[in-house]
């Protein structure tokens, strides 16, 4: 039977990356996507911007929406402080199964909590289920029409505190116009656009970094 792209991406990690070495996993995925098959990971160029935001925030608690194959969860987790953790939500069980193996190959199972389910269902349950008060950083990279409703849901569920950072991928391509309009015009956020390119291409894309003001 025909393999899927996530399965081929995992095979490339297991072939080319060193077990327990997260940076070699990130490199193996980026090389696979540049040389073999494009895949919708945040990628190396936007990944450097992600790295700088994670290092600046030094977050104890991170939420990621849309794990896909686990590339950005691994990239974030290897920059977290000793007790820092990331909860990443993925509703496609096949993608979650691949991501779990990518995370295991990187040796980051202790730092990454992968939850299989939809963000809209899980955001209201995170506080009680995982004993999280608020998130220091949220990385949005799931279906683009969910960025705005999920941001409003996180506000309503009290998951954001004064100073929480939202970092949104793909605000240009594929684009998240309703989210951008809201976040850039809301008095409750201070936003900044980081111009970059769609992963592994020359097409313009970028990340929007927004600080929740409370």
Residues designated as active site: 141, 144, 169-170, 199
Binding to ligand 72M, residues 65-104 (CB under 6 A): 66, 68, 89-92, 95
How many CB atoms neighbour CB 126 within 10 A? 20
- CB nearer ligand 72M, residue 20 or residue 174: 174
* Region of 55-63, 123-131, 138-146, 154-162 interacting with ligand 72M (CB under 6 A): 138-146
State the nearest-atom distance from the C-beta of 20 to Mg ion, in Å: 26
State the nearest-atom distance from the C-beta of 150 to ligand 72M, in Å: 7
- CB nearer ligand 72M, residue 68 or residue 189: 68
Strands 189-197 and 135-140 come out as unpaired
Q: Does 146 bind ligand 72M (CB under 6 A)?
A: yes
Q: Rounded distance, CA 132 to CA 175, Å? A: 30
Q: Are the C-beta atoms of 20 and 106 separated by less than 8 Å?
A: yes
Pick one of 141, 151, 160, 207: the residue that binds ligand 72M (CB under 6 A).
141
Strands 135-140 and 160-168 come out as parallel
State the nearest-atom distance from the C-beta of 170 to ligand 72M, in Å: 5
State the nearest-atom distance from the C-beta of 24 to ligand 72M, in Å: 22
Look at residue 150 and give its three-state secondary structure.
helix
**49-54 long-range contacts, Cβ below 8 Å, gap at least 24?**
49/194, 49/196, 49/207, 50/75, 50/76, 50/139, 50/167, 50/207, 51/75, 51/79, 53/137, 53/165, 53/167, 53/207, 53/209, 54/79, 54/80, 54/137
Pick one of 173, 182, 188, 193: the residue that binds ligand 72M (CB under 6 A).
173
Interacting residues toward ligand 72M by CB under 6 A: 40, 66, 68, 89-92, 95, 118-120, 141-143, 146, 169-170, 173-174, 199
């Amino acid at each position: 039977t025909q393999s899927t792209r996530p399965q081929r991406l995992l095979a490339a990690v297991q072939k080319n990356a060193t077990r327990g070495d997260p940076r070699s996993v990130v490199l193996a995925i980026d090389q696979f996507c540049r040389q073999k098959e494009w895949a919708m990971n945040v990628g190396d160029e936007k990944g450097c911007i992600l790295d700088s935001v994670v290092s600046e925030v030094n977050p104890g608690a991170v939420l990621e929406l849309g794990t896909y194959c686990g590339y950005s969860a691994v990239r974030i987790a290897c920059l977290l402080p000793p007790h820092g953790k990331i909860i990443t939500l993925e509703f496609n069980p096949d993608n979650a199964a691949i991501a779990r193996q990518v995370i295991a190959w990187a040796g980051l199972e202790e730092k990454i909590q992968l939850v299989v389910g939809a963000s809209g269902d899980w955001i209201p349950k995170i506080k009680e289920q995982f004993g999280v008060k608020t998130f220091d950083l949220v990385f949005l990279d799931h279906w683009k029409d969910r960025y705005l409703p999920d941001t409003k849901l996180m506000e309503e569920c009290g998951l954001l505190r004064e100073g929480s950072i939202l970092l949104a991928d793909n605000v240009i391509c594929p684009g998240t116009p309703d989210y951008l309009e809201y976040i850039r015009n809301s008095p409750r956020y201070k936003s900044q656009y980081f111009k970059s390119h769609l992963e592994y291409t020359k097409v313009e894309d970028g990340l929007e970094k927004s600080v929740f003001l409370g």
